[in-house]
Structure 1
Amino acid sequence: MIIPAIDLIGGKVVRLFQGDYARKTEYTASAQDRFDLYVSEGAKYLHLVDLDGAKDPAKRQLDTISSLIKNTPVPVEIGGGIRSRQDAEALLNIGADRVVIGSCAVKNPAEVKEWFRDFGAGHIVLALDINIDPESKKRFIAVKGWQENSGVTIEELINDYREVGLSYVLCTDISRDGTLKGTNVELYQDLAREFPDISFIASGGIGSLEDVKNTRDSGAYGVVLGRALLEGKFTVKEALECWPNA
């Protein structure tokens, strides 16, 4: 599945390089214009990251997000600093199809598991951003905006959340994010083999249609496309020709 994505700061479409707010690129098209374009080219699902909310949940762009959801005819999943039941509930209440939970899932598993039980596993994506240890090859989840190693591997966390019906995992190899040098195909092959019941969404590094094809063949359920679309490397329509949405 092809899932176009945009990141927002102050209502404007931006991209950060490897999560660094100091290395920000701002784009001229509005968020709604971007979503409209992606839908017109065939997108059936969209991904939005509220970077203001990621920094400070009190500054979540709820009005902007609500308007985007109301004016976009396909489902949208929302991420960015969802750290409490109230954060998740507020987004689901304004029409988000799924909420994307990151660091909180690592730090407060008992609480987040309750959200799975109350909201349903189909409405929650775990966003697990990883650094791969060069010696042990272990895949450790990073937290606090990628600044801190949690000490927990992605495999350990997935096994822990299986008890509440974990269905969707958005997995980013941090070293590939924003580079346009290709995604970590081997990572998704390994995860899909080990956890065939989980739908893995690949993220980070996609820069060409060849990268899309490689990810398609990795066993991943879908791929989030951000910078490559914003910079015109290819279109959603062209990506869908490589990997048609089911």
Structure 2
Amino acid sequence: MHEAPVIMLGNFHLDLSVLLMLIVTSAIVFIFAIVATRNLSVENPGKLQNFMEWAVEFVLNIISSTMDLKKGKHFISLALTMIMFIFIGNMLGLPFQAVTDVKDINAATVFGKPIVSVVEAYEKAQVRHPDAHPHIEIAWFKSPTADLSVTMGLALVAFLVAHGLGLFRNTRGYLKHYFQPYPFFVPINIIETVSKLVTHGMRLFANIFAGEVLIATILKLTTFKVFGAIAAIPLLMVWQGFSIFIGAIQSFVFVILMMVYISQTIETHEEH
């Protein structure tokens, strides 16, 4: 596996590839939204406008399947932004990878700061093979959703929105939920709430990360010269096609779960 370009910023580890890909993903979503809504027309809508109208209708159907649309219409922007961001993020690691090769440990620096992940990998390689001159590969371009910190961050946003709305809009019903069916169920209900946050982020991360690991494994076949390349090409085409399907499904699943969690705090608890 390739190493991530991690540097120390104060006492924090900062993965530059994640930061780069978050910027790229956000820029693509922003530019696409601007271009798609720039020249709106009722009589002669363009292809991008038709696509955006379809996307909005799709998101409305997701929301209406989880809650009353009169309450859910306020979440159209949130759901649409989430599904676009996650889908584009899932796709970025599929077309190609940007990998650099470090042979000299002194050259493993960015902005004057050492890439600690590369230094550690280099030192471990030298311990195993003292006489060798290891070279470390750094992956700069990947799907941001293949990083656990990103998916957990997205899940945390959904978690805070859902429970913030429940606490402030439906305070009595929301708090009452934790004491049902009996008061001694409070610890279990709290564990259930926290587990939703964890599984929400882990599900997305595991699927996208596993897909990129398999792509990297298939690409390793090209090191076996002609026969490896011949075997790798069809496998890569099939898996990338399947990964597009998985990426689309995972963005849909993430958003629909987010809307379910929101509906549970603002609607379901009101009935208890």
When normalised by structure 1's length, the TM-score is 0.22
Could you state the TM-score of these two structures normalised by the residue count of structure 2? 0.20
Q: Is the helix fraction higher in 1 or 2?
A: 2
Normalized per residue, which structure has more strand? 1
Quick one: higher RCO (CA 8 Å, sep 6+), 1 or 2? 2
